[in-house]
A and B are shown apart, each in its own frame.
Chain A
Amino acid sequence: MTDARTLQADVIVVGGGPAGLSAATELRRLGVTSVAVLEREPTAGGIPRHCGHYPFGAREFKRVMKGPDYARRLVVAATGAGVSIHTGVTVTSIEPGPCLRLATPNGLTEARAKLVLLATGVRETSRAARLLGGTKPAGVMTTGTLQSMVYLEGLRPFKRPVILGTELVSFSAIMTCRHLGIRPAAMIEPGLRTTARWPSGLFPALLGVPLHLGTELMSINGRDVVGSVTVTDPAGSREIECDGVIVSGRFRPDRAVLHGSHLGTDSATGGPEVDQYGRCSDPAFFAAGNMLRAVETAGWSWNEGRLIARTMTQALEGALPEATTSRITLSGDALAYCVPQRLAASAPAMPLPGVQLRVNRAVKGKLVLRVNAEDQTPKSIDARPERRIILPYPDLPQDAQVEIRLEEST
């Protein structure tokens, strides 16, 4: 921002990643006059900015590209559509109105809009929040930090780290390491199999990185820099020499902007509570992308942003059904969360593609959607935590009581 005057727009989007940029672009395409994106980093584009590897963009741009190219394409598409992108701007609080308090390099200001879209994305869980033991030397970081160092700054923080976790992003960590000739000493996974089902063609990349399944990271050792990690597996405890630790995955919505706000949050996802139109508990606020739940691909978030832009356009026209306060009830302890958490009455809008669900352990059985005490046709599932489940929306009257029940088969 060049000065610290109040910012006004029809729609303000908080967060310039795939979801926020695609929503802003779509809002302009649908004829919304003024759309502004607020991005706190010096450059918009979100996480793909520092994912210097394939594959991004197949769905959005009909070609496969690396993350930074994809991020640039998103920015070009948005600015080309007439979106104004303000970088270096931090939203410090959100208030009814909608009103946003902003911090800029030129001081404090505020922004006002008819509608606000929150799209602040996700980050990996830190070493501290995982309660990892040991000392606190330099060289322990998330994949996101490693990628920022490698791809944005051209730096190499270590030469022989261990990687904790086997999610898709953990594979991305290996790719990032290979880019700068970093040779991971080991990959450690507490489970008995990898979390992500990696595409088989990508497995050769693991060559040279020993995979230790059923292995817990007990402590990180070293005073100034990492010297080793202590791990245990059924055979006992041992040390692996290394000079860094990549703490990968376990994404969580970045919800700092919700702290102290009037918006309802969902403790299960860690994100804001929304209905099928992406509306938050204050219907002037919407949310899209991985802020809703961890974690989907950039392509998914991009599409979600686009769909929610459409419902926001309808909201501006007053065409959305009234918001409801009644929440979907989840029955069955294996159900981790659902998005949306509330269902307003059906409308001819293009909402989120059905209720997104995740389980917290491998389960088989039937998912039954129950509307006003009446069971709908059940859906058979054979699910694992890393796999998304989509349950199509039923036709709903206003203020319907909705329950989703998991009946496990034995």
Chain B
Amino acid sequence: MPDTIPDPKLLHDAIIIGGGVIGCAIARRLTLEGWHVVLVEKAPDLLDGASKGNSAILHTGFDAPPGSLEQKCVAEGYAEYLDIHQKLGLPLDRSGALVIAWSEAEEAALPALMDQARENGVDDVIPLTSAQTRKLEPELAQGVKASFRVPREYLIDPWSAPHAYVLQAALNGASVVRDCTVLGGSFDGGQWRLETTKGPVSGRVVINAAGLYGDKVDTLLLGRQDFQIRPRKGQFVVYDKPAATLTRHILLPVPSKVTKGIVVCRTIWGNLLVGPTAEEQESRDMAQLVPETLAALRQRGEEILPALAGHDITTLYAGLRPATEFKDYQIHARDGQNYVTVGGIRSTGLSSALGTARHVHRLCTNMLDRPALPAPDWPEVANLAEAQPRDWQTAGNGGIICHCERVTRRDIENALTGPLAVQSLAGLKRRTRVTMGRCQGNYCVAALARLTKGKLAHPMSEAPDD
């Protein structure tokens, strides 16, 4: 069933534009604070823009610029994730990270980076010699000069987490309208009325969490923009599961001014990834995979972990970060207009989302103040992490449909029904892992086309006589 605007006459407390990790977290926070919100998303499913491709790491923010808004939001978001993840059924892999210097110049930069970490409240970083580093990670290449360990950098599930956030919002009264593009809107001094592809929707406050389209939405609704989105592409190579035995830590390079650099780490699903690149581009919705760049990533991965050579590649992906001409987040409250722009959440959105949402709520309290929900419902989402029990291990699952990721018929049926039922194949993949494994759908796509018949916005296939 396609989503609809609940009641065009209903005055919501807030309209959140954008169903990425930030919009989902804001929907949850405002709902818990007693607001009645509606979230609109232009894609058929949530997490379809910047949030669909990232490194899946929960950062401490140790390397963020001290005193920046980004650093504050990451620290607060990190703390809240640790606080709530078990209650929501979300996984946490306490991998830790190593920041590795491969040259003398990089080695010289380590003490300042450790000082910066301490200044950011990450006071448990530990300097390691070359020998100590290689003892922790025996598969590392020769040539490590030194490193430091950041024990509390962790791995999480980048799609189950925002899904749990928005699901909690929905279960506690929020509305979610997907496949709904904002076409325009006006503020009459007391309330906003937005025109969308699914009709008008009204609210006291508008929150622009439109990610890669943040500047466009500001221009559309405010007639001005205070920043310009400069999409920055990150390509990744994902290796098959046997490669995940090659490292325990997240292996980080010494960051440059532009990027955190190329990371090698496991994923919560038991793969190993190498990436991202940092490439500026014009397009906000097309992220091209470039074979030469991917080959270079692969080579870089093998330079860091030589045993990676010969491991099979499971998949490739390219994400787009909503970077701007500014280094820091662009979060601006327009008090007179009951409007908050939450823009420029480049690269750390997954880690900061819960903290960013708290920050946004604080900015909004003088626009509207409500008593917090006394006893909100807490949904538990299906676990997809490799290290914790999954549906295929329990009876009555209907059999495994996706063999590589061991996704059961019941997993798929659950994602296709209930609140926030998926509406696209991409959404189904993010919710269940189906087709995400080594065969990339070779064995299961046909069965999946049958199981999803009539349930997706774009059918996977058609009957020949359609």
Contact = CB atoms under 8 A, between A and B. Distances in A.
B414 interface: no
B176 to A, nearest CB: 21
B461 A141 contact: no
Contacts of B310: 267
A153 B446 contact: yes
B397 A145 contact: no
A134 B241 CA distance: 25
A108 B314 CA distance: 26
Nearest to A87: B399
A52 to B, nearest CB: 13
Looking at chain B's contact residues, the main secondary structure is loop
B446 A107 contact: no
B344 to A, nearest CB: 24
A208 to B, nearest CB: 18
B294 interface: yes
Contacts of A180: 464
Interface string B93-126: 0000000000000000000000000000000000
B288 A149 contact: no
Nearest to B290: A133
Given A90-B400, A90-B403, A135-B286, A107 B394 contact: yes
A282 to B, nearest CB: 18
A88 B400 CA distance: 7
A16 interface: no
A126 B442 contact: yes
B242 A260 contact: yes
A131 B313 contact: yes
Given A145-B445, A156-B463, A181-B464, A105 B288 contact: no
A232 to B, nearest CB: 12
Contacts of B294: 131, 133
Interface string A102-122: 011111100000000000000
A92 B400 CA distance: 11
Q: Which 3 A-B pairs have the closest CB atoms?
A: A148-B446, A126-B440, A107-B395
B403 A106 contact: no
13 contacts: A4-B395, A90-B403, A103-B393, A105-B408, A128-B315, A135-B287, A136-B317, A145-B441, A153-B449, A155-B446, A155-B464, A225-B458, A259-B240
Nearest to A254: B439
Contacts of A132: 289, 291
Interface string B255-298: 00000000000000000000000000000011111110011000
Given A153-B450, A155-B463, A133 B288 contact: yes
Contacts of A131: 291, 294-295, 313, 316
Interface string A213-227: 000001100011100
Nearest to B458: A224
Interface in B202-256: 238, 240-242
A88 B450 contact: no
B400 A138 contact: no
Given A128-B313, A148-B445, A135 B289 contact: yes
A129 B289 contact: no
A226 B399 CA distance: 31
B404 interface: yes
Contacts of A41: 443
B143 interface: no
A183 interface: no
A142 interface: yes
Contacts of A218: 291
B398 interface: yes
A136 B289 CA distance: 8
B152 interface: no
Nearest to A216: B291
A149 B288 CA distance: 27
B443 A123 contact: yes
Contact of B442 (A123, A135, A155, A267): A123
Interface string B431-466: 000000011111101110110000000101111100
B404 A256 contact: yes
A124 B442 contact: yes
A42 interface: yes
B177 interface: no
B392 interface: yes
Contact of B458 (A4, A138, A152, A155): A138
Contacts of B288: 133-135, 219
Nearest to A124: B442
A157 interface: yes
Interface string B164-185: 0000000000000000000000
A259 B439 contact: no
A95 to B, nearest CB: 17
A154 B310 CA distance: 38
Contacts of A129: 312-314, 440
A144 B313 contact: no
Contacts of A88: 399-400
B316 A128 contact: yes
A149 B294 CA distance: 30
A342 interface: no
Interface in B308-329: 310, 312-317
B347 to A, nearest CB: 21
A160 interface: no
Given A105-B397, A108-B393, A126-B442, A154 B463 contact: yes
Nearest to B316: A128
B253 to A, nearest CB: 23
A212 interface: no
B38 interface: no
Contacts of B240: 259
A310 interface: no
Contacts of B438: 126, 256
